[in-house]
Amino acid sequence: MVHVEAPEIGVSWSGASGYADKKSKKVLQADQPILIASSIKTYVSASILKLVEKGQLSLDMSIDNLVNKRTKILFNNDGYVFSEITLKHLLSHTSGVWNYANQAYIEHKKKNPNYRWTRDQQLELTTEKGDPVGPPGSQFHYSDANYLLLTEIIEHTTDLPFYEAMSKLLKYDELGINNTWFPTLEEQPKGTKPLAHQYWGSNNWDSYDLDISWDLYGGGGIACPTKDLALFIQNYFNGNIIENDSIRNLIFTEIRTKETELYPYYLGLSQDNYHGMNAFGHGGFWSTVMMYFPKINASVSVCVLDRDKRALRRDILDKVSDILLSHSREKLKRNKLITNYLDEIINFSGTVLVANKDQIIAHRAYGLSSIEHNINNKLDTKYNLASISKLITAVAVLQLVEKGEIDVNETVGTFLPDYPNQSVRDFVTVHQLLSHTSGIPPFYDDDFLGANKRQFKNVEDFLPLFQKDTLSFNPGEKYQYSGSGFVLLGRILEEVTDMDYYDYVDLFIFKKAGMTNSLAIPVDTIITDKANGYTCLWGDQKYFSRNDYNISKASPAGFHYSTTHDLYLFSKAIRNNILLNANSLNLMTTPKAKGYNTHIGYGIDIDQRYDEQIIGHSGGWFGIRTELMDFISSKYTVVVLSNKDDDGKSGASKVIDDLKRIIAGEKI
């Protein structure tokens, strides 16, 4: 059975071939339900994220107080430390919880096909037959027990049976998902056809002969037609279940281990690729699979009724996705979509440049550079870049790495032996500074906001804001975005080159790339065509006010001024190996850590959430919202510079998100 949900080309289609029951030769109907087995894991993950959106859970919460007392004692007695296991660990199969659903479990099922399991018994089996496979977060170990614990957590959080809670959280009724249920735990919905028989021919298994409880409580359990399966994942990725984009995208959270390097696994979500398109979904034991294709905004679900022929799932997905892609290519002309979109932008102040294969296809300016004097923004208006400066600093440092003058594994003390913070001096490396894993707290905080901004004239003037701060964690332990590390990189650059940071950047970055309108200036410097910044405190303030009090002269972490065209030249100079050679560029753009939403290289974001890799950097501060993006596969470059902040859903943030989705071929 196959279902295709492709709203971009107006397709919602189900098809079937073969028999629903081999013995009776009943013809299989396209809308007959089947057991989806582990495809349920995306449903469970979505339910947890919905509770995150509601403010009832967070992914970093330990599960210590989220499971019942009996379960906690059971696992504690087997050596598990629930206070160290988070929801994120369970969802990503990095908790270290052993998998009871193994070959021995299958052999037991062969001998006892009608045995009725409970969830508690399966959790007992987990602790009786196996031990923790490793510390939380250290390795990927696929385990159904993770998802049994998650359904128990759903019950603890909602005070409802997990199957009833999931139905409400995932909005089945609202979205027309009418034929989905947990057999034996819920009544079959009225009008739903009988379950199709599912087979494992080599073991002489017929799903009708097995008590469903062996795979019922979260590792598997849902029954539905392929249409409901596709509708669920289509609605999920179209924001109809979890409305908050940032919460929904948490499903792409990845805890990288050596086991996941070749096969990305997120939070109850697998990744695959067809015809150059990323696909996201999950497969199941009974030869089911559902996949969402962001590039064409389409979902395909497949069930092959004999597990021995499960390889057919990929063949079908390959052919169906190829058909959909060919239709999409005819329908979506991206350049036209981009220019049409830019023609219709409203409620945005700034300048946008879009190029493809190093050819500018659109360059537009909107709004006012001076509201009080009614002066329009122009194509050559200079904007404050905020944190895009970090990318400039990273390139400068990597030039020195390229020359052999800096080793990324050397500590701060190698270059700054008198740096007053011993923990930073002796243990923090250049690698950790570049990848935001140093543990040095950020300095753009109340101390900075309350300081006299005129005092910040040189890089070293920023050091007192953070140099005595205690590290937030052991260097290299995790990711924490911090401008402090980039200020230190600027000081290291000065020591290595015996040059002022600003002079070095002017000579070896701006001039080399042809960036004639890029500079670092005190906030009160008078220059032509500079946009004033206007802040609404990210949507909390009704009226806009000038942001002059909140910014200073640029540091290596932020606040350079530039134009959209200069940043486009900067992007070209990086990609075309003018500023860095190919090896250095590869070093910079190889993921080093998982950030809040994207992977992080050296001073660069590596966004893998769309159907291709997007590299670049964003910037945001009072009265500033900026973005530089390079789409690696489709060869687009997008620069968005705005002199207004926003609430994350409007203004520049909306333009940035819309352009990402248009170029990725998604619906906006």
**Angle CA 522–369–540, to nearest 5:** 85
Task: Give the Cβ contact number of residue 418 at 10 Å.
Answer: 6
Domains of the chain, by residue range, sit at 2-331, 337-663
Give the Cα separation of 520 and 65 in Å (integer): 51
Give the confidence band of 335 by pLDDT, cuts at 50, 70, 90: confident
Do the beta carbons of residue 245 and residue 239 sit within 8 Å?
yes
Place of tokens 């967070």: 58
Q: What is the pLDDT of residues 401-442, one digit of tens each?
A: 999 999 999 999 999 999 999 999 999 999 999 999 999 999
What's the fold here for domain 2-331? Answer: Beta-lactamase (3.40.710)
Do the beta carbons of residue 617 and residue 434 sit within 8 Å?
no
Number of C-alpha atoms within 13 angstroms, CB side, residue 464? Answer: 7
Mean pLDDT of the chain: 94
pLDDT of residue 9: 75
pLDDT of 109 over the 90 cut: yes
- Scanning 112-161, the segments in alpha helix (DSSP H) are 119-129, 144-158
Residue 259 CA, distance from chain mean position = 19
Convert 324-358 to b/e letters by CB count within 10 Å (16 or more is b).
bbebbeeebebeeebeebbeeeeebbbbbbbbbee
What's the fold here for domain 337-663? Answer: Beta-lactamase (3.40.710)
Task: Give the Cβ contact number of residue 460 at 10 Å.
Answer: 14
Residue 341 DSSP label: H
Residue 189 DSSP label: P
pLDDT of residue 635: 86
pLDDT of 141 over the 70 cut: yes
Instruction: Give me the DSSP letters along 443-484.
Output: -TTHHHHHS-GGG--SGGGGGGGTTTPPPSS-TTSS----SH
3-state SS, residue 575 = helix
Please report, as a single letter, which amino acid is at residue 251: I
Give the confidence band of 334 by pLDDT, cuts at 50, 70, 90: confident
Do the beta carbons of residue 125 and residue 112 sit within 8 Å?
no
Instruction: Give me the DSSP letters along 68-102.
Output: -HHHHHHHHTTT--GGG-BHHHHHTT-S------S
The residue among 612, 581, 586, 611 whose CA lies nearest residue 601 is: 586
Q: Given CA atoms 580, 583, 586, 588 in this order, what sign does their dihedral have?
A: negative
How many angstroms separate the first and last alpha carbons of the chain? 30
Q: What is the pLDDT of residues 489-545, one digit of tens each?
A: 999 999 999 999 999 999 999 999 999 999 999 878 889 999 999 999 888 888 889
The region that residue 101 occupies, defined by phi over 0 for left and psi between -120 and 50 for alpha, beta otherwise, is beta
Give the Cα separation of 305 and 307 in Å (integer): 6
Indicate the helix (H) or strand (E) that contains 562.
strand 561-562
CA-only gyration radius of the chain, Å: 27
Give the Cα separation of 262 and 284 in Å (integer): 20
The residue among 568, 530, 571 whose CA lies nearest residue 548 is: 530
pLDDT of 263 over the 80 cut: no
Q: With both helix axes pointing from N to C terminus, report the angle between 162-169 and 40-53 in degrees, rounded to the nearest 10.
A: 70
Do the beta carbons of residue 504 and residue 493 sit within 8 Å?
yes
2-331 with 337-663: one CATH topology?
A: yes
pLDDT of residue 261: 64
pLDDT of 332 over the 60 cut: no
CA 466 vs CA 341, 444, 552: distances in Å: 43, 9, 16
Q: What is the pLDDT of residues 164-220, one digit of tens each?
A: 999 999 999 999 999 999 999 999 999 999 999 999 999 999 999 999 999 999 999
Place of tokens 């219709």: 344
Q: What is the pLDDT of residues 360-397, one digit of tens each?
A: 999 999 999 999 999 999 999 999 999 999 999 999 99
In the chain, the percentage of residues whose pLDDT exceeds 90 is 87
